[in-house]
Each structure stands twice: as structure tokens, then as C-alpha cells.
A and B are shown apart, each in its own frame.
Chain A
Amino acid sequence: MSPASLEVRTYGPDAEPRMGFFTDTSICIGCKACEVACKEWNQIPDRFGSHPPSYTGNSYDNTIDLGADTWRHVAFVEQRAPLGADAAAVSLVEAAARGALAEEAGLQTYQEGDGLRWLMASDVCKHCTHAACLEVCPTGALFRTEFGTVVVQEDVCNGCGYCVPACPFGVLDKRRPDGRVWKCTLCYDRLRDDKEPACAQACPTDSIQFGELDELRSRAHERLGQMRAAGQDEARLYLAGEDDGIGGAGAFFLLLDEPEVYGLPPDPVDTVRDIGGIWAAAGAGALALGGMIAAAVLGGRR
């Protein structure tokens, strides 16, 4: 039983296995079908009404980030392998300098032997095991479903926005001009009808895989093993375990580089994790202060 299942236990016999996403970015082709399918199914407004999109120049990414109107977001990262970086004796600094020189001379061509990588990755709400958004929500609009996912109830949310800064991934966002918070529900409605989420169904290459979290995790570890065996040393799983700052995620990833490269926090922390300690420390401080004041007052009377 993974930690999140503890909370699902409150559903008693209605509890379902914890469901999630494994997004294998190594086979993402950047088609954005997930973004579109998500919007279609969930009837998310396009951006032309509230904040018309324009050319960002950020590779092929004109969506930029997750938000109230974007529950799936495909990141595009263009990477140039530094010139001569393969050569063992050359430091990265030296390689970068060579690259700059070559470019200065207008020799930046394939003939010079540099490589190019175009990373694509579909991001989504992580459905954290320790979900700060859910914990700070004063109205109970955010709740954990029987599938272990985290969902906002649109008819309960009052738009207070406490959850927005609480999310360590910047997923939660208020919709303009609506005022309420909207985010990925992992297609709660479809799950209840025994259907897979819209994004996973639309993904042509199965980069987005949906299923029982335990099974997805073992599949991901197997996949990582294959990739490592094939010499992809930089391949790594992100949020696939339970020992990170959020106690593991319902949506985790196989990445081909550091999480920062994709705009993901390297070490996300449940923002309310330390709140108990903070209150305890504050309480202890208050007590100590009270004691000192009392001592001073009482002592003064002597």
C-alpha cells in the first residue's frame, strides 16, 4: 500500500486502486494532442477570450505553462551539445569556448560535428501524495478521490486562492474572469465510467500511460533499465518514488535530463510539511516569552 492509499482508506469498501500517469518523455513527439484532447473533454475555454496567445519564441511552445486553462502542457527544449564535449580531455568550459568561436566564425554547421537534442515532455498536475493544495483549502473544494487523485470541486471552490501558492509545481491557478481555481482532475468523470483520461487516450505514441500507480511504477523502472542499458545515462525517473518532498506523485515522469531543464522543480516539497513544526516552534517561543514576561513582572513585584 502506497502512502496515499492511507487517505483513500477513508472510502472504505469504495476505495479504488490509486490511479495515475506515467509520462515517458523519451517517446513524446510533441504533437500536443494531449493538450487539445484535455481541453476538448473538459470544455476548458481557449485562451482567446481571456488572454489571447501570441508567438512566444520559446521553441514550439506557445502554451508556456500549466494553468487554469491548460491542464496538460508540452514543453519543448532545444539543446545544443557543446562542440567537442565528447572528447574526454576537454572541459565543458573549453568546449563552450570552442563552440562560441566556431559560431563567431560562422562555422556553426553540422560539418563541425555538433549534436542537437530536442526534448519534448507533457507536464500535468502531479496529484501529490502529500498535496499541500488540498490541505490548505478552507472550503473543502479540493478533495482526494477514491482513485487517490486530487480534484477541485467547481461548485464548492470560492476562489480564495490559498492553494495557488501552496502548490510546489505552480499547477494551481485562478481562471480569469471566473475567479475559481481549475486544474487537472485526471478525468475524474471518465475514471468513474471506467475510461482512461482524455490525454492518455489521445497520445499516439503512449508517451502518456495511464493505469494503477503501482503497476506504472514497476513499468517505469523497467523502462529506465532499458534506457540505461542502451547508454542513455542521463535518463531518470522523476517523482516515481515515495521518499521525495511530496511523498511521491500520482503523475510521474521519465526524463532525459535534469528536471530543471524541463522547468520542473528538482526537489519539490510539500509546502505545509513543516507547518506542524512551525506552529510547535512558535508555540514554544510564545510560551517561553510568556514565562519571561511573567517572571519579569512577578520578579519586579518583589
Chain B
Amino acid sequence: MGSNMAECHPVGFQWVVEAKERGAKVIHVDPRFTRTSAMADLHVPLRAGTDIAFLGGIINHILENGREFREYVRHYTNAPAIIDKGFEDTEDLDGFFSGWDPESGNYDPSSWGYAGAGGEPTAGKSEQTADVSGEQAHGAHGMTLKKGEPPKQDMDLEHERCVFQLLKRHYRRYTPEFVEQVCGVPRELFLEVAETLCENSGRERTGAVCYAVGWTQHTVGVQNIRAAAIVQLLLGNMGRPGGGILALRGHANIQGSTDIPTLYNILPGYIPMPHPQSHPDLSTFISENGPETGAWGDLDAYMTSLLKAWWGDAATKDNDYCFDYLPRIDGDHSHYETMVRMLDGEVKGFFVVGENPAVGSANAKLQRLAMAKLDWLVVRDTNEIESASFWYDSPEIESGELRTEEIQTEVFFLPAAAHTEKEGTFTNTQRLLQWHFKALEPPGDCRSELQWVFDLGNRVRRKLAGSTDPKDRPLLDLTWDYPTQGPHGEPEAEAVLQEIGGRDSEGNFLSEYEQLKEDGSTACGSWIHCGIYADGVNQAARKESRVTQNWVARKWGWAWPKDTRLLYNRASADPEGKPWSERKAYVWWDEEKGEWAGHDHPDFKLDKAPDYTPPRRGAKGMAAIRGTAPFILHPDGLGWIWAPTGLVDGPLPTHYEPHESPFVNPLHAQGTNPTRQTFRRPVNAYNPSGDAPGADVFPFVMTTYRLTEHHTAGGMSRSVGYLAELQPEAFVEVSPALARERGLEHGGYATIVTSRSAIEARVMVTDRMKPLVVHGRQIHQVGIPYHWGNRGIVKGDGANELTSLALDLNVHIAEYKTATCDIQPGRRPRGEALTRYVEEYRRRAGSIT
């Protein structure tokens, strides 16, 4: 669900094909019949943006029919945990959880915690600090527990406030009939999916869920995945071979750029960014962000080692290991918030590296208008993409909204090396890092990102050399002495990998994160990657064939943490440490040797017996986690069916309608996610929704997506003849019924309109797009691949002209995957006429600005 794996991850999909050949059932739940559906045993079309309704239906089906893997649920999840008596459900409060503050539009999550946990959850506290709200607390890892388990539990799962019972109540109304009504999935088809999942779970069998941006790009993106987590925990499919939830990433290394983040709000290894007021020193930061129990109990060691890796000898105990050198996060600096501020003239300079916001970001017009307000813009790409050329050839130049001579932005275009022209690692969905080698030198002035950042650092440091200003110390004290090689003086990527992998004070390479110390004697650029250069070997570059080793293939690449291929794999054995079944044996307790053994590296303390119970008082870190608790990153070692902390929009996923939807939420008066982030201004006008007046002006559901033939915003494919010719023109996919209703001609042109803009595309009338019956009425979905822009060998209108800034507050991702629209036959108006055309639609609909 939420993924078109065959088209967007064709290389990984070979394993799905192989699994199918070996008897696995493949189900594809997706609004469209895609190349993935063509290969699946069953395709289930659903209305875009109703995944929680569907998954909630599965949760309800499991619970109502007693299909949960009871022993797994009792021991390995927080289903027995009793929740704070202040908690009230969306079922009680008409769509809100307890803690809603209508003034600020945010939740106070303190009533979502475990009963008796006392105080506020760690993450909750951060959320309420200073002017930092919501997701800026991301990376605060759980709550403080006196012992490494929920204070109050009912192992029979019967207490009315235990998670299991709250879950039951929360999803009671998610019946097959409800799923049919809301998602447009016939109940028989839904039940076939639910039963197939149940039948393929338990001791002998496991099921896996693959998702991608079809789940994340919603105003309920994070909760979509949470819903899948609940299903998989109830069915016992986590930490076991053949199970799990696989996040298929958007590019070869998106996982890597999250682990060692290009994100604004976390540090390497998911350590949160410090806040300006609430984190005056390292020890406060540690106590506020690291729970005392579980693997995060050693945050002090991870953090100190990170600071030592970055500032080396300059980082000492006396200066708090240069903790003050870290930038502080003082608010929302995510992409869209930044672009809106840019539009208001508050951002002076901008680096665009590895993205093309003028095509790939939601509301592409807003992105371009914002960049036109900059003083300077640096674009690094393999060719001159739309984000670099908007100042002379964007649609706004055509329409007269922008005039080249009036744009003040100075644009610097820096040619970038392609992936074949540089070395480094790619991290895939299962946290596996694979080293890739440089095949050839980049041509001309093209350089790798590594070299560019290195050179930029060197130049800035040269300019600051000799400065006595304390604010320059962080840059001057950086360890920035990477050896270089090759004709262009390229820094050695392996040297960076060594820094990430960690060393002790003697310079010896570390082999696992347990070796990290809080006393400054170890340096490690990312604690989760500790050991990637163990024994002085680039472990990610190992490439032994799977044919010559066991099926887990641990001699191929390296996976964090500690080269563990399957996270939380303690759960693959029962509480006594025996495999749940011979068929699904993975790791187990070896009684004779007194340690964990198995096909993979056990993701557990090797000598911790299954019957280990922490001492009654004073146990910290991993010592506080009992021998039956596999999810060691959590302070209670349990799989979180209930999220007591960490999310800004509720401890359980709830069906909310998309920000723009033709339907009203039948569950509660608060029909949309109350925490969703919106930006009210004319350039980002929203379509009216549900039964609001004017909603019928945009009667259809639209969804945007990729094709195999192109790559994201097209910078790497519209410029390459062999790829561009495969899908040479922008097109829109509609059903025969919609084509008839709107007079659309196959192969002709159609104009698609939202309150943002109108685009044109060639029409593909196909049975693959099916109208659905939702709430008893037929609804059409319009499918728009989003790869095109106004540059490249093949050009066309981009789908993101139509999408809006309506975001999931947890992660500030836009709802690219669903909105409402109108579609009409023929080409769109050009120039100024286009502006008038869209304005007329806004007027008719009474669009929300």
C-alpha cells in the first residue's frame, strides 16, 4: 500500500517477483492499477487518502475476530500498558484527542502517556518549550520511566484503560461496511485482504508491508505508517524474517540522508537538535532528550562522541565538548515554512542541492515566486534545471507575473558530478549501506557534493582565519582535515566514513556502539553507524555473493546498527528464547553457550538471558530492559501499538479526510487532521471541501505520481534522450466513464484545474483508472504523473502546479497524493489568460485564501 514498487523500485521489486514465484501472495492496494498491480495476485483500488480507514478496518477485523498473535502482543508490545486516566479518545471528543488547545491549534500530549509514569513525556516537554512546537521535538526519544517498562500493566489485556481495550474502542466503528463507504472498496474485497493478512501471520508465517510516498505525502502521513505498525504488531510481524514495514525510499540514498541527515531538525543518528532556551548545557540536553532506559539511555556517550568527531581536540570536558558550538533550533525551518518566509522576503540566500523545487515541490509556482525574492541562489545539479532558470523562462515570465529585469536574485549554477562520478555509500530501505566506486572522473567543472562542501568549508575557514570572534570558533575548530586525491583534489570519502564509524582515543577503529564513552575518549560521527569501519575495513564495500554465504548474506555491505540485517530480531524468538517455529527461526537463545545465536546478528545484548529481569531500583540503559523486550530503542523495550509520546497529532491513527476532499468525514465533526499545517494566502488558495459551498466546482480526486521512465522532478531523465523518449509528453490518466462525462478524447488534450493553477496534458483513457462508489455515489480519480517542466529534451506542464501546501505537522510533508480538481477537454489558456482562467475558478468556488 502507498507504493507502486514495480514502477518506482523495479530493481527491489525483483525480490517481490521471486517471493511470488515461491508462493507468496502479493496484494496491491492503490488508487490506480499500475505495473505493480499487474504483477500482484490481487489489486484493491481505494480512494486516495483513505488508507487509515482501510488499515483501521484491518485492525478492527483482527481485534473483533481475535486474530491477533496473542502471545507476541502480550509480551512484546505495549498493549497491556495502562494509559493515563486523563486520556480521552477521538470517539469521545468528536474527532479530537484530549489535550487539544484551540488557541494554539496544538495538542498537549501529556494525557497520552502511561498511567503512573509521572511527569511529562520527554518529547512532550520539548514540544512545549520556547517557541519550538510540534515536530521540532522530533528525535526526542520517549519518556522517562522509573523502570524499563510501563508502570501499570494488565497482562490479560482487559483493563478498560489498557492499550488493547482503548485500541478496540477506537477502531470499533471501522467495520467492513465503513471501509466500503469511505474507501470505495467492496467489503468482500476488503475482507479478502484482511483475512489473507491474518492467515499469513502467526508462528509459521509472516507478512510484510511495503510503502513509499503514497503513504507519507498526506496530512496524515505519519499516522498512515503508524496504522501499519499497529497491524504488524498485532499480527506479530515485526522483528521476524519475512515481516516488517519497508519504507521504500524515493532515491537511492534517501535513507542515508535521513540517518546522517540533510534534515534541519536532527543530528546524525536521530539525535535531536538542541533548543536555544531549554538546552543551556550538555547535561540538560541529555536529560531532556534521552530516556534513562533502553538504547537511548546512553545518549550522553553518543552525543559526546559526535561532538568529539566534529571538534576533535577542541572538545573537552571543560568546555562541555563544544556543545555550545551546535546551532540551536528556534522554530520551524522545514522546506515549506522556509519557502513561505522566502516569499515574504525574509530569506536572503538559498542552496538548492539535489532537488528541483520549481518542479518537484508542492505548489511549484509558489516555490518559483519565492526564489525570485532571494538575494542569491546557488543551484547544484547535473544540468540547468527549472529552479536555476526560472528567472528567464518560467511560466510566470510567460504570464507577465515576473519580469526578468525586476528579479533581484543572483543565481549561481554549479555543475554537479553524477553518481557514477563519485564514491560513497547508498543506504537502502533495510538500513543496508553499500559502497559504490567512482567509474570515471566528472567532466569539466562538475564536482561531487563532498568536494563542494569541503571546498566551501575551506574557503569560509580561510576567510575567518585569525578571527578572535567567539562566534567563528565553531567553524575554525572543526576537524576539517580530510586527505585529498585525484586530479581535482577530491576529499577521500573513506576518510569521512572512518570518522562516521568511530575511533577510540588511540585512533583504533570501533566495532560497535556499546564501546562509545561519555568521557570524551571516543569519537564517532554517527552512533548508529559505529563499527562501519571496524578492523580498519570498509565494511560497506564488502561484496561477497549471496551464493557463497548464508541466506541473510551478512558479508554483503553493512547494515546499521552493528551490521544487524533485521532490526529488533529478538522478536523472532518466543519469550523463552525459542524460535516461534522452525520455519521462521532467525535468532534464538543458546542455553549451553548462554548467549543469543542465529542466522543474523542478534539485535539484543548477547548474554542477556530471556528470563533476565532488571534490578528493582537504579537500572539504566540496556540494563533496565528485560530479557523479553525486543524493541530496545524504546525506553520500555516494547513495540508501540500506542504512541505515548513523539507524535503531535495523537497516540492512535484516526481516519481524517484529506485537506481537500469531495466527502465529509462520517466519523466525527472534526473531519480533517486538526493539526495539519496550512498557509492561507492567494498564491496557495485551497479548494473548498466536503459539503462546503463551491466544493462541487472541483468534484474529482486527483493524485500525483511517478513513472518508471522518469526520475522525480525530471532533472536526470528529461535531459537524457534514451529516457526522455520513453515518456515524451505529460499525460493524465482517466477512466472511460470520466472521459465520457467530461468529453475527454483519448490522445487529445485535457486541462486540469485546482485553486492554484491549471495545467494541460495528453489524455490517456484507460480501464486502469476505475471510478469508485464512495458514500453511495460514484467518484472519479484523476491520475497525473508529475515529471515534466519547461526545460529538457521533453517539456510539459508539471503536476505540482496544482498541488498545495497542506502539511502533516509531524514532518511538514505536503499532501501531494490527494487533492480535488476539475478536468476539462482541450488545452489550457496561455499567458495572462491562464491567470484569469484560474481566477474565475476561484471565484466560482469561493476558494479559501
A-B complex is real:
yes
List chain A positions with a Cβ less than 8 A from chain B. Answer: 27, 29-33, 35-36, 39-40, 46-48, 52-57, 59-60, 62-63, 78, 80, 103, 106, 108-111, 116-120, 204-206
Question: In the complex, what residue of chain A is closest to B779 when comparing beta carbons?
Answer: A109
Q: Which of A30, A106, A111, A119 contacts B708 (CB 8 A)?
A: A30
Known: A46-B725, A48-B793. 12 other contacts (CB 8 A): A27-B17, A29-B35, A46-B721, A46-B722, A57-B762, A60-B35, A106-B771, A108-B737, A111-B772, A117-B38, A118-B38, A119-B38
Residues of A close to B13: CB separation below 8 A: 29, 204-205
B613 proximal to A (CB < 8 A): no
**Which of B3-11, B191-199, B627-635, B658-666 forms part of the interface with chain A?**
B3-11
A27-B17, A31-B10, A62-B726 known; A55 and B762 CB under 8 Å? yes
Residues of B close to A39: CB separation below 8 A: 722
A63 to B6, CA, bound (A): 20
Residues of B close to A111: CB separation below 8 A: 186, 772-773
A120 to B38, CA, bound (A): 9
For the complex of A and B, 9 pairs with smallest distance between CB atoms = A46-B721, A118-B38, A57-B747, A55-B729, A31-B10, A53-B725, A29-B6, A55-B762, A53-B728
A103-B736, A109-B778, A204-B14 known; A118 and B768 CB under 8 Å? yes
A117 to B43, CA, bound (A): 11
Residues of A close to B189: CB separation below 8 A: 110
Question: In the complex, what residue of chain A is closest to B725 when comparing beta carbons?
Answer: A53
A29-B39, A103-B736 known; A205 and B767 CB under 8 Å? no
Q: Are A80 and B778 within 8 A (Cβ)?
A: no
A80 to B17, CA, bound (A): 23
A224 to B790, CA, bound (A): 47
A31-B708, A36-B723 known; A116 and B768 CB under 8 Å? yes
A–B pairs, 11, beta carbons within 8 Å? A29-B13, A35-B726, A59-B766, A60-B707, A62-B727, A63-B725, A109-B771, A109-B773, A116-B768, A118-B38, A120-B35
Q: Are B727 and A118 within 8 A (Cβ)?
A: no
Q: Are B746 and A57 within 8 A (Cβ)?
A: yes
A32-B708, A78-B766 known; A55 and B728 CB under 8 Å? yes
Residues of B close to A56: CB separation below 8 A: 747
Question: In the complex, what residue of chain A is closest to B46 when comparing beta carbons?
Answer: A110
Q: Are A55 and B747 within 8 A (Cβ)?
A: yes
Residues of A close to B762: CB separation below 8 A: 55, 57
Residues of B close to A80: CB separation below 8 A: 767
Q: Which interface residue of A27, A63, A119 has the most chain B CB atoms within 10 A?
A: A27
Q: Are A63 and B721 within 8 A (Cβ)?
A: no
Question: In the complex, what residue of chain B is closest to A45 when comparing beta carbons?
Answer: B721
Question: In the complex, what residue of chain A is closest to B729 when comparing beta carbons?
Answer: A55
A40 to B420, CA, bound (A): 15
A72 to B768, CA, bound (A): 25
Q: Are A63 and B726 within 8 A (Cβ)?
A: yes
A78 to B772, CA, bound (A): 20
A52 to B33, CA, bound (A): 29
Q: Are A110 and B772 within 8 A (Cβ)?
A: yes
Q: Which interface residue of B10, B726, B736 has the most chain A CB atoms within 10 A?
A: B726
Q: Which interface residue of B13, B721, B747 has the most chain A CB atoms within 10 A?
A: B721
Residues of B close to A59: CB separation below 8 A: 764, 766
A64 to B735, CA, bound (A): 23
Residues of B close to A32: CB separation below 8 A: 708-709, 726
B203 proximal to A (CB < 8 A): no
Which residues in chain B, 1-60, are within 8 Å of chain A measured between CB atoms? 6-7, 10-11, 13-14, 17, 21, 33, 35, 37-39, 43, 45
A29-B35, A53-B725, A60-B707 known; A108 and B736 CB under 8 Å? yes
Shortest CB-to-CB span from A17 to chain B, Å, is: 23
Q: Are B764 and A57 within 8 A (Cβ)?
A: yes
Residues of B close to A117: CB separation below 8 A: 38
Question: In the complex, what residue of chain B is closest to A223 when comparing beta carbons?
Answer: B21
B533 proximal to A (CB < 8 A): no
Which residues in chain B, 714-758, are within 8 Å of chain A measured between CB atoms? 721-729, 731, 735-737, 740-741, 746-747
Residues of A close to B763: CB separation below 8 A: 57
Q: Which of A31, A46, A205 contacts B7 (CB 8 A)?
A: A31
Shortest CB-to-CB span from A202 to chain B, Å, is: 10
B308 proximal to A (CB < 8 A): no
A103 to B771, CA, bound (A): 11
A35 to B723, CA, bound (A): 9
Shortest CB-to-CB span from A166 to chain B, Å, is: 28
Shortest CB-to-CB span from B737 to chain A, Å, is: 5
Shortest CB-to-CB span from B19 to chain A, Å, is: 12
A109 to B189, CA, bound (A): 13
Residues of B close to A33: CB separation below 8 A: 10
Shortest CB-to-CB span from B769 to chain A, Å, is: 10
Residues of B close to A52: CB separation below 8 A: 728
Residues of A close to B766: CB separation below 8 A: 59, 78
B601 proximal to A (CB < 8 A): no
Q: Are B45 and A54 within 8 A (Cβ)?
A: no
Shortest CB-to-CB span from A106 to chain B, Å, is: 5
Q: Are B721 and A48 within 8 A (Cβ)?
A: yes
Residues of A close to B767: CB separation below 8 A: 78, 80, 108, 116
A78 to B788, CA, bound (A): 25
Q: Which of A30, A63, A103, A108 contacts B35 (CB 8 A)?
A: A30
Shortest CB-to-CB span from A199 to chain B, Å, is: 13
CB 8 Å contact bits of B693-726 with A (1 = contact, 0 = none): 0000000000000011100000000000111111
B368 proximal to A (CB < 8 A): no
Shortest CB-to-CB span from B316 to chain A, Å, is: 52
Shortest CB-to-CB span from B745 to chain A, Å, is: 10
Shortest CB-to-CB span from B766 to chain A, Å, is: 6
Residues of A close to B380: CB separation below 8 A: none
